[in-house]
Amino acid sequence: MRQWLGIGLLVVIVVAILSFMWFVRKEHEDSRFQTALATYRSALKPGTSRERVEDYLRQQGLPFERSCCEPGVFSDRAKIGQEEPNWVCRNRNIYLEFKFQNSAATAAVASGSDVLTKIDLYQNGICL
């Protein structure tokens, strides 16, 4: 009986240590992503044209791709990192999402004159 109690205690300790390590790593990653978000929010204010935003991203060496699909609302997404796989999720990609508003609410394509409305984090991955 004592042997099983010892094994059970050892398992609990190992799980606690692994959970703590995962929590610390997650906090560090989240901090890094929030810092990147704050940096771009301070450099690119709402009202900035898409052309200017995309030029800035190119100058920073940050690859991006255009995304869509609400009428008149378009976004650019730039990957800034990836969370490591864990018990619940496989890879989870983290992006900066630059949302733009087109002056014509029914516009079908993005244009350089679209105006930045906000910058947020966007996560994409496979989780249970």
DSSP 37-82: HHHHHHHS-TT-BHHHHHHHHHHTT---EEEEEETTEEEEEEEEEE
pLDDT in tens, 3-59: 888 888 888 888 888 878 777 777 788 889 999 999 999 999 999 998 999 999 999
Label residue 2 by pLDDT band (50, 70, 90). Answer: confident
- Residue holding tokens 């984090």? 121
- Dump pLDDT digits (tens) for 59-101: 999 999 988 766 667 889 999 988 777 666 777 889 999 998 8
Distant-in-sequence, close-in-space partners of 113: CB < 8 Å, separation ≥ 6: 49, 50, 51, 103
pLDDT at residue number 72? 62
Domain that holds residue 8: 2-127
Q: What integer pLDDT is reported at residue 108 of this predicted model? A: 57
In the numeric block, the tokens 């200017």 are attached to 52
Task: State the Cα–Cα distance between residues 51 and 66, nearest whole angstrom.
Answer: 12
The shares of helix, strand and coil residues in the chain, as percent rounded to the nearest 5, are 40, 35, 25
**pTM of full prediction above 0.85:** no
Task: Supply the DSSP string of 76-91, one letter for each residue.
Answer: EEEEEEEEPP-SSEEE
Q: How many domains does the chain have?
A: 1
pLDDT interval class at 107 (50, 70, 90):
low
Phi, psi of 117 (to 5 degrees): -105, -40
